[in-house]
Amino acid sequence: MRPWLARPLSYDEAMNDELSPPVQNTSLGELEAFVLSALWEKGQLSTPEVVNQVGAPRGLAYTTILTVLQRLHRKGLVTRHAAGKSHAYAPALSREQFAERRAEVLAAAMVKLGSAGLSAFLSEADRLDPQFMAQLRAQLRDLET
Q: What is the pLDDT, as a whole number, of residue 6?
A: 53
d(CA 112, CA 122) in angstroms, rounded, equals 15
Q: Are residues 33 and 85 in the same domain?
A: yes
- Does the residue 6 lie in any domain? no
Rounded Cα–Cα distance for residues 104 and 86 (Å): 34
Same domain, 87 and 39: yes
Q: Note the pLDDT of residue 24.
A: 64
Q: What is the pLDDT of residue 13?
A: 47
Note whether 22 and 87 are same-domain residues.
Answer: yes
| Same-domain pairing of 89 and 110 | no
Same domain, 118 and 53: no
Closest Cα to residue 76, out of 62, 89, 61? 89
Residues lower than pLDDT 50 in the chain: 1-5, 9-14, 17-22
Q: Are residues 43 and 71 in the same domain?
A: yes
* Residue range(s) defining the domain that contains residue 126: 96-144
pTM for the model stands at 0.70
CATH code for the domain of 47: 1.10.10.10
Q: Is residue 4 part of a domain?
A: no
Distance of CA 53 to the CA centre of its chain: 18
Q: Phi-psi region for residue 17, left (φ > 0), alpha (ψ -120 to 50) or beta?
A: left
- Domain assignment present for 70: yes
* Residues 84 and 101 reside in one and the same domain: no
What's the structural domain count of the chain? Answer: 2
Residue 17: predicted pLDDT: 46
- Which H/E stretch holds residue 83? strand 78-83
pLDDT, one tens digit per residue, over 37-66 is 999 999 999 999 999 999 999 999 999 999
User: What's the pLDDT score for residue 60?
Assistant: 94
How many Å apart are CA 15 and CA 33, to the nearest integer?
Answer: 21
